[in-house]
Amino acid sequence: MKRGTIMFILGSLVGAGATYLATTRKEEIMEKLQELQEQLKESDLPERAKKLVKEIAENIQTLIAAPEEELTEEEKKDILDEVETKIQKLEEAIKGDEQEA
């Protein structure tokens, strides 16, 4: 159950980021991120995983909320690289939690 929940949230976050890259539907993406954060509060994920998912969502929100001309391509790339790193840490946290269970 935990892994499925995490994968759903993670997939939704990555999907939101991909949607940003494909379109400029900022309002819709922000709403979805808000919904995901509410689901996260109610989930039974370990605290470390919750923190990482929250940080990933915040990074995506930063990317989405900034006006197009405000962030350089390098800054956008840095944010996406940071998101990727946090996703890897989240996967490690999930694996560690599954091994403990």
In angstroms, how far is the first alpha carbon of the chain from the final one? 12
Q: What are the pLDDT digits (tens) for 57-98? A: 888 778 777 777 787 888 888 888 888 888 778 777 767 766
More confident residue, 89 or 22: 89
Q: Write down the domain spans for the chain.
A: 2-100
Question: What string of DSSP letters covers the chain?
Answer: -HHHHHHHHHHHHHHHHHHHHH---HHHHHHHHHHHHHHHHHS---HHHHHHHHHHHHHHHHHHHS-TTTS-HHHHHHHHHHHHHHHHHHHHHHHHHHHH-
Residue 23 pLDDT: 52
Express as a percent the part of the chain with pLDDT over 70.
Answer: 67
